Amino acid sequence: MDYSDNIRNKLALLPDLPGCYLMKNEEGTIIYVGKAKVLKNRVRSYFTGSHNGKTQRLVANIVDFEYIVTSSNMEALILECNLIKKHMPRYNVLLKDDKTFPYLKITNEAHPRLEVTRRVLKDKAKYFGPYPNSYAAQQTKKLLDRMYPLRKCGVMPKEVCLYYHMGQCLAPCEKEVPKSAYDEIIRDISAFLSGGHEAVKKDLQQKMQEAAEELYFERAKELRDQIMHIDALMEKQKINTADTKDRDVFGYAVDKGWMCVQILYMRQGKMIQRHSSVFPFYGEAYSDFMSYVTQYYSENPALPQEILLPELVSEGTEKPSAASAGAAVAASRLAAAVDDEDSEEAGESAAAGNVSEQAGTAEDAAAREAAAAEATAVGLVDPAGGAAALQEWLGLKVLVPQRGLKKQMVGMACQNSRVALDEKFRLIERDEERTSGAAFSLGQSLGLESLNRIEAFDNSNIQGANPVSAMVVFIDGKPARKEYRKYKVRTVQGPDDYETMREVIRRRYERVLKEDLPQPDLIVVDGGKGQISSAIDILQNELGLYIPVCGLVKDDKHKTAQLLIGDSAEPVPLARDSQEFYLLQRIQDEVHRFAITFHREQRGKSMVTSKLDSIPGIGEKRRKALLKHFGSLKKIKEASIEDFRVLSIGEKLAGQILAALNDEEPAVEAVSHSEDEA
């Protein structure tokens, strides 16, 4: 169907107003959500002019769009964030649940506790953070647990525990603790987590001195240890500003369709942590960057006093843009203090170098004005407009600095982003070289001229029940998941691994010959001489194919132990720590995972079917209706008699269903996969 006329007509009706647009594919699914300063200009830009590869992929899937007009850029910013959360579009930058940041939380209870959480609730508790990873949060909690005697237990015990005897709990289980005592502790923790650790450290030093003078040496040693823990935790705070404001400093870099966003956390004027995220993006770079920032603050209760954002950043890592001109001044002050442990992305490092501390030149200002004019021309939210919208929404100061130390800090964040992105590409390139090199070396060890395509098979059953097999494909040492295949075994009765292998090899390579599919350079079977001989017999004697076949034998711990090749099953000597052996382990683990997943799926389906089919009055039609309505066997078992009435199932039959199901063991959870070759 041609959708161009529909899109052309809609483009002619777009308004000159700010708002959000929702791009849809052929199925009507929303695949991208964006915001615009001028809807007409921005949406039209997708269907005119040239785009990079990733944006072309997005545009190629657009067959329709909708738009929502807003009264301001701020409303468009918030609406875009809400729409992304609701629809989870494929081509948007998404802050997924497994990427939420950890916080330290002081619970709002009669006897409060300090805990690490990733869930932010409106429960009147105090939240501090976010921390870049759970390790940083747990280490901070561990220190605070030593210093402040809040309750540690989840459920109040009947008698005092070891924490009380160690001086780390006030024992509310044993005696009354006044609210004022908790208020004082919470104030001290809040001051410490807000960057006031120097005052806490000074107070501890004074108490240590007093304890030593009074000959309480054990107490003095405890206080000294606490001071050492504070120093160890805070030793990364090397870059300072003249004031004591809490700031979040953002920077980003883009290259080859990927974006890296770095956040530097400044607390009380000191840089204490950083966080890095690397992800693909499909829209306009700065717009997608602002989407990331908006999503980040939409559920962040621990707001700073000030947010610093970068200007437009040019693509590529070869030459720093004007937005990061002062990066190395701040970076040299950082002096490699940002430890790589604090990052959740591999291959990151602090930037270093020497760049002039001068303010932007007239050429830089002209470049900024030209970039802003270009952004306005296509309806984009420019940096100044985005910062103003974010400031209005959050109710705190949001700046795009043009000179001075603040610009240098933003430049450092951008420079770190470029370094992280560049190292990501180098790591990928290195990994690909190592993987393809392992495949080449394995081919040489086996005496093969080339080893580009490997197809591996594994069988799975339990005492012959629900027998299945699976095949995975590796091309140049990397899995080609679109070519994986699954087989339900048709002709074999009972647990006969050799006959199962014969059937699956026959079915696979009959299809290869019939459909002229690419033939593998090597076939790998899970097993030893019997499985190898079965495969070779079918290939050579029935199909006339002379493809090398090897087998992978496992040890008593179910780990890859040895490679055998040929009908005589001769062992191939490979070092256990070689890249070739590691590649074989990956292949064997992957095909086993794929086979066992398929077997669980089939076993789960058969168990559900047999349970429902064994109930008098339940036929195929009713069984399908029950599963469609309730979703699973577990939900059916948890239902009440009344819940069955919507399916026209009376009280008597509903009672029989529940009685029959609750007499059985629970079904194994089924795991589905989209590919199947019956």
Q: Is 529 contained in some domain? A: yes
Q: Is the pLDDT of residue 325 over 50?
A: no
Rounded CA Rg of the chain? 32
pLDDT one-digit tens code per residue, 277-310? 888 888 888 889 999 999 888 877 678 889 999 9
CATH number of 90's domain: 3.40.1440.10
Residue that wins the pLDDT comparison between 241 and 171: 171
Q: Is the pLDDT of residue 197 over 70?
A: no
Lowest average pLDDT, out of 79-93, 184-198, 240-254, 361-375, goes to 361-375
Q: Is 447 contained in some domain? A: no
pLDDT band at 472, cuts 50/70/90? very high
pLDDT of res. 398: 93
Mean pLDDT in residue range 639-667: 75
Within this chain, do residues 509 and 565 fall inside the same structural domain, yes or no? yes
Q: Are 188 and 148 in contact (CB under 8 A)?
A: yes
DSSP letters of 81-94?
HHHHHHH--TTS--
User: Beta-carbon neighbour count of residue 513 at 10 Å?
Assistant: 12
Q: Is 433 contained in some domain? A: yes
pLDDT of res. 133: 66
pLDDT of res. 371: 61
Which among 223, 238, 253 is the end of a domain? 238
Within this chain, do residues 114 and 212 fall inside the same structural domain, yes or no? yes
* Whole-Å CA distances, 473 to 470, 518, 661: 10, 11, 41
Of 311, 635, 661, 678, nearest to 490 by C-alpha is: 678
C-alpha of 444 from chain center:
38
Q: Is the pLDDT of residue 667 over 70?
A: no
DSSP letters of 91-136?
TS----GGGPPPEEEE--SSS-BEEEES---SSS-EEE---SSHHH
pLDDT of res. 234: 54
Task: Please give the helix or strand (H or E) that residue 35 lies within, else none.
Answer: strand 30-36
Mean pLDDT in residue range 195-213: 74
Within this chain, do residues 252 and 203 fall inside the same structural domain, yes or no? no
CATH number of 581's domain: 3.30.420.340
φ, ψ at 70 (rounded to 5°) = -120, 165
Lowest average pLDDT, out of 69-73, 327-331, 562-566, goes to 327-331
Q: Are 309 and 386 in contact (CB under 8 A)?
A: yes
Lowest average pLDDT, out of 53-57, 104-108, 409-413, goes to 53-57
pLDDT band at 144, cuts 50/70/90? confident
Within this chain, do residues 304 and 423 fall inside the same structural domain, yes or no? yes
Within this chain, do residues 231 and 249 fall inside the same structural domain, yes or no? no
pLDDT band at 194, cuts 50/70/90? low
Q: What is the dihedral of CA 563, 554, 506, 451, to 10 degrees?
A: -30
Q: Is the pLDDT of residue 507 over 80?
A: yes
Mean pLDDT in residue range 168-190: 82
Q: Which of 338-347, 446-455, 593-602 is modeled with the greatest confidence?
A: 446-455
Measure the CA–CA gap between 202 and 196, rounded to whole angstroms. Answer: 10
Terminal alpha carbon distance of the chain: 32
Residue that wins the pLDDT comparison between 400 and 220: 400
Measure the CA–CA gap between 320 and 327, rounded to whole angstroms. Answer: 9
pLDDT one-digit tens code per residue, 333-379? 333 333 333 333 333 323 333 333 334 456 656 665 666 666 666 66
Q: Are 580 and 574 in contact (CB under 8 A)?
A: yes
Measure the CA–CA gap between 597 and 595, rounded to whole angstroms. Answer: 5
Of 100, 99, 76, 120, nearest to 390 by C-alpha is: 76
Measure the CA–CA gap between 281 and 416, rounded to whole angstroms. Answer: 19
CATH number of 272's domain: 3.30.420
**SS3 category, 678:** coil
CB proximity list for 69: less than 8 A, separation 6 or greater: 15, 17, 18, 19, 39
pLDDT of res. 367: 60
Residue that wins the pLDDT comparison between 266 and 669: 266
Q: Is 369 contained in some domain? A: no
Q: Are 140 and 131 in contact (CB under 8 A)?
A: yes
Q: Is 354 contained in some domain? A: no
Bridge partners, 66 (sequence order)? 22
Structure tokens belonging to residue 567: 């009908």
Q: Are 333 and 351 in contact (CB under 8 A)?
A: no
pLDDT of res. 331: 36
pLDDT band at 539, cuts 50/70/90? very high
Q: Are 543 and 506 in contact (CB under 8 A)?
A: yes
Task: Please give the helix or strand (H or E) that residue 358 lies within, else none.
Answer: none
pLDDT of res. 510: 92
Within this chain, do residues 118 and 79 fall inside the same structural domain, yes or no? no
Bridge partners, 525 (sequence order)? 457, 551
φ, ψ at 452 (rounded to 5°) = -90, -40
Residue that wins the pLDDT comparison between 511 and 326: 511
Residue that wins the pLDDT comparison between 616 and 18: 18
Mean pLDDT in residue range 83-106: 78
Structure tokens belonging to residue 427: 């790591």
pLDDT of res. 399: 93
Q: Is 9 contained in some domain? A: yes
Q: Is 189 contained in some domain? A: yes
Q: Is the pLDDT of residue 189 over 70?
A: yes
Structure tokens belonging to residue 280: 């693909």
Maximum alpha-carbon separation in the chain: 94
Within this chain, do residues 109 and 90 fall inside the same structural domain, yes or no? no
The answer to whether the Cα torsion of 637, 641, 642, 645 is positive or negative is positive
Q: Is the pLDDT of residue 111 over 80?
A: yes
Within this chain, do residues 192 and 214 fall inside the same structural domain, yes or no? yes
Of 420, 408, 325, nearest to 363 by C-alpha is: 325
Which among 47, 62, 94 is the end of a domain? 94
Q: Domain range spanning residue 112?
A: 103-238
Bridge partners, 478 (sequence order)? 475
Mean pLDDT in residue range 588-594: 85
Q: Which residue is associated with the tokens 């790998």?
A: 524
Within this chain, do residues 553 and 509 fall inside the same structural domain, yes or no? yes
Of 141, 322, 337, 158, nearest to 239 by C-alpha is: 337
Q: Are 523 and 455 in contact (CB under 8 A)?
A: yes
Q: Is the pLDDT of residue 98 over 50?
A: no
φ, ψ at 550 (rounded to 5°) = -130, 160
Q: Is the pLDDT of residue 619 over 80?
A: no
Measure the CA–CA gap between 296 and 287, rounded to whole angstroms. Answer: 14
pLDDT of res. 378: 67
Within this chain, do residues 86 and 108 fall inside the same structural domain, yes or no? no
pLDDT one-digit tens code per residue, 209-260? 888 887 877 778 777 876 776 665 554 444 455 566 788 999 999 988 889 9
**SS3 category, 479:** strand
Measure the CA–CA gap between 258 and 281, rounded to whole angstroms. Answer: 6
The mean pLDDT value of the chain amounts to 77
Within this chain, do residues 90 and 234 fall inside the same structural domain, yes or no? no
Burial class (CB in 10 A: 0-12, 13-18, 19+), 311: buried
3-state DSSP helix/strand/coil percent for the chain, to nearest 5?
45, 15, 35
Q: Is the pLDDT of residue 330 over 50?
A: no
Q: Is the pLDDT of residue 413 over 60?
A: yes
pLDDT of res. 520: 92
pLDDT one-digit tens code per residue, 491-504? 877 677 788 888 99
User: Beta-carbon neighbour count of residue 362 at 10 Å?
Assistant: 7
Q: Is the pLDDT of residue 30 over 90?
A: yes
Of 341, 278, 330, nearest to 131 by C-alpha is: 341
Structural domains of the chain, count: 5
**In the chain, pLDDT over 90 holds for what percent of residues?**
15
Which among 211, 238, 265 is the end of a domain? 238
Q: Is 356 contained in some domain? A: no
pLDDT of res. 536: 92
From the DSSP assignment, how many helices (H) and strands (E) are in the chain?
20, 19
User: Beta-carbon neighbour count of residue 512 at 10 Å?
Assistant: 17
3-state DSSP of 573-598: CCCCCCHHHHHHHHHHHHHHHHHHHH
What single-letter amino acid sits at 635? K
Q: Is the pLDDT of residue 173 over 80?
A: yes
Within this chain, do residues 249 and 390 fall inside the same structural domain, yes or no? yes
pLDDT of res. 370: 65
